[in-house]
Structure 1
Amino acid sequence: MSELINNSEKRKELLKHMIQELHQGKAPEAVREQLIQLMQKVPYGEVVEVEQELISEGILDEKEVLKFCDMHTEALEGQIDQSNAKEVPENHPVDVFLKENKELLKVVQLIRNEIKSLIEINATSLSDPLLKIKGWFNNLMDVDKHYRRKENLLFPYLEKLEITGPPKVMWGKHDETREFLKAALETLEHSGEISPEELPSVYELVFEPALNAVADMTMKEEEILFPMSMDKLTDSDWYDIQEQTLEIGFCLYDPPAQWEPDGIKTSSKEKVEDLNRIQMPSGSFTKSELLAILNSLPIDMTFVDKDEKVKYFSQSKERIFDRNRAILNRDVKLCHPPSSVGIVEQILEDFKSGKETNAPFWIQMGGKFIHIEYVALHDENGEFLGTLEVSQDLTEKRKLEGDQRLLSYSKNTEDE
């Protein structure tokens, strides 16, 4: 056995044989037991190499690997050797992926616990709990951004290194997960039709596959994909990935700072941007000036584009409603509680059709009077561009009386 443990080629040949046995119908538990007896642990890099070789040699095609991917996971779970994995720096793109996984798993566990509790107590009323569960599944839909960053930013670098099979298989699993999550949300759209007696079956047939798909992918990433990618990609590659990340957005987590790799100049790009002024019809700004203006306005702003994706929010010091960058590129309907989604959809539809151009609301919140207004944005040709949400705390302004003229400022300073 020691000969196997210390010989990479022999380990890989044995692993190939075991994977082929899975495809021929051998139970994952039996393969797992054989793996433990003969090899104990499999280095993460060899798992990728074996899958790539099986595909490249034509022994298995990508569709077949995709079909049996979950069996591979079951057989290898807990048996991946990560002892030689590189340490992941704080705020590195992989660190962000890992932190997102933690948040995803928290939501998965919340849903599992809630449904388990409902089944155990034989709850008679499911309306409110299922509405809450729907909100959690909405949050899980954010995994799409996590997957798109892998598909569009990470996988191209692996493909340049001729690691093509495993990324394609993983992309296929992403699509499966997306479909499972959509099915869960579609079921929850009709939650009123789910009886307490039906809940266990709905959980097993609809919810659990979605939850398992999300959770299993985190294992595949953390035990195989990310350690291997850390070995293969350079700091320059990772920095390029980081620079493009905001175009897609984060998933349930907003990193507090950017990763700054040693030996790579990270500030030159910002300096160039500051030199290029943003030209408007009535003037111009540097990027820094425009950012300061937007963040100094006594209002909160959130911009949703014509495709209903959140693209921007202002970062004033005292925001009324919390925002973080995990919301960027998220479907705006998934950013609202399920109970208000219908209203949001109606507003957006009215804006797109031209029926309405604004929708004001005001609420009392924590002793404050908050004014919220949705405004339809159009270009000079009348084409719909998106929606701007503007929120403002008017509590103190509603108390104003009389005049406060410009000259009052001078008098106040003289008194001091």
Structure 2
Amino acid sequence: MEKEKVEIFKDILKRLHKGEDIESLKKQFGELLSRLSPFEIPVIEQELLREGEIDVKDIIKMCDLHVEFFRGAVSEAGREIENLPEGHPLRTLYEENKQILKDAEALGLLASSTFSLQNEDPRRRNFYEKLVQHVSELSRIGYTHYTREEMLIFPYIERRGITAVPTVLWSKHDEVRLKIKLLVNLLKKEEDDERLKKEALELSRMLSDMVFRENNILYPTLKVLLSEGEWKAIKMFEKDIGYYKVEVVEEWETSAEPLLPHQIDPTVPPETYEKLPEEIKRVVGALRPDTEYSLVRENDLKLESGYLSMEELNAIFKTLPIDVTFVDKHDRVRFFSGGHRIFHRAPTVLGRPVQFCHPPRSVHIVNKILKAFKEGRKNPAEFWINMGERKIHIRYFPVLDEDGNYMGTLEVVQDITDIKKLEGEKRLLDWK
């Protein structure tokens, strides 16, 4: 390694430590940083750590400077996405990936720096705690960025017959999630340095790999395929899932009507197909869009989150492992679920004042709950009782319209005896 290069790099870190502006350092030392390989960085930093000239905050700051240079120039597709208005869902995903890439680099640097220090070095504990915190924060990537892609983005390309790509990406997402969970647990147990460093560097590589798969393959595909109406629908739902370390500005607007996957024409015209990235074309071959299935059938009930026939709706309520009873705003019983019930109900109770459905000794409590709900209490009233050897959980929820007006009360009753015995995990993949 060139001695001059090392000395200049040391100077950059020292100036960062003293509070010099990051942007000016980027401009001044961009050429140097572009000539440094990722493998040289930890060596230089370890030397500075031994000299006691930098701390953990400097390591994180350094990522702002070098991450963009290690990964090469922004692709043409990337520049097009960067030119989208702020708040466009695709621009938001791209901006999150910048943060993920930075955090991946920070993870590698933190791990290399932490485990270069001897156990007796007083700075090691500070570095170790920062590493634990950093890895814990990485868990949010799976809950936000990856989940938005899986739940909001993938359905649109699957509808067009592109199923292999989202399947592969979702598998990669889960590999990252599992690796983060493993590393969190290993750090808690304070496993040996070599194991921790190995897993941390592997996770850093996996996160970076996902960023480049998305930026160079998935996002250019989305930009070609999805219409304004589809992005409008995605925008409507993405806040419910959340974002990874970005503030979303509401600059992007469109007059297009929101389109859900089942509402679009899934056929991809030849001219659009030709604009797809070559990697996508190689994987999908001839597209086989999902054109046979029709979501909405004659006589279906249109609900807020789907469509059901009356037969399906009744069957669902009978199948639920809970008892449900609805009392309207006039305190009259309007509905109860069928099937097996813990508390018996018969059609004779329909239209009956709910007060008459309870023993006289408890009616004053029923009225107290209803009064609280009508006055605006939103928290459920909750009780649990023993019925023989079974533990029964009873909850009352206020039911409100979109404007917050009281519509009635929902009673939910559940046998939680076996639920209380659960320990550890039994995941979907464990089912036999």
- TM, length-normalised to structure 1: 0.42
Q: Give the TM-score of the pair, scaled to structure 2.
A: 0.41
Which structure's relative contact order is higher, taking Cα pairs within 8 Å and 6+ residues apart?
1
